Every structure is written in C-alpha cells, then in structure tokens.
Amino acid sequence: MSAETRRYMRLLVFFDLPVVTKAERRAYTLFRRFLINDGYDMIQFSVYGRILNGSDALEKHFKRLIDNLPPEGSVRCLSVTEKQFASMKLLVGLPLFQEKTIKANQMLLF
C-alpha cells in the first residue's frame, strides 16, 4: 500500500477494570502501563487513544492489545479515521496538551 493511499486512523481503548484486591490493582497497573508504553495517550480516565498509519498498523496493534488484556473487567476498542476523530466535540473542559500539539498532518514517520 503506498503512502498516498494510507489513511491515518485512531484506535480508542475504553476500559473498566476492578481494583478491589491487590491482584486486580496489579492487573490494572500492568494494562495501563502497557498502553502508555505502546504509544497510547490518555484522552480521559480509562479512555486511551493511539494514532495509526493505515489498516495494517491497526491490525498489528489490535493483536498486541488482545495479547495484553487483563484477566477480568471490561475492555472495548473502537477504530475511527483521523477525520472522524477530529470532528469530536469537547463539551466541557479543556483539550489535553497532546491534543493541542499532535495532529496527523504534523507527524513524522521514520
């Protein structure tokens, strides 16, 4: 697939994990740490997003997400195009620093 036909996409991960026992807190911490180390940015509490370059990268990161799921709780993911993500409206609050500075057309891919 050529660079011109690739579409920037976002993979959004929503999760609700139990944190009652020590083992559950550890699973939550490991999952959250995986997301951060894998390049996800926190959009809001328990909602993380990552920008991707095309559907091949989407499949790769979806498989990585599946390999690192916690044993309990609820984890959902949603893929949207960068245009759809940019049309999201912020109703209350201020955009995060990452949202102000990082846009798909500003990314450098090495």
Label the pairing between strands 47-53 and 8-16.
Answer: antiparallel
Query: Residue 21's pLDDT is what?
Result: 96
Q: State CA 103 to chain mean position distance.
A: 14
Specify the pLDDT at position 110: 47
Locate tokens 């509490």: which residue?
A: 45
| Alpha-carbon gap, residue 30 to 33, rounded angstroms | 5
- Report residue 17: phi and psi, to 5°: -115, 145
pLDDT tens, position by position, 46-97: 999 999 998 899 999 999 999 999 999 999 999 999 889 888 888 888 777 7
Architecture of domain 8-84: 2-Layer Sandwich (3.30)
Measured over the CA atoms of residue 80, residue 106, residue 62 and residue 72, the dihedral's sign is: negative
User: Tens digit of pLDDT for each residue in 4-40?
Assistant: 456 899 999 999 999 999 999 999 999 999 999 999 9
* Token pair 């997301």: residue: 35
Query: Do residues 48 and 42 make contact, with C-beta atoms less than 8 angstroms apart?
Result: yes
pLDDT at 69 (0 to 100): 96
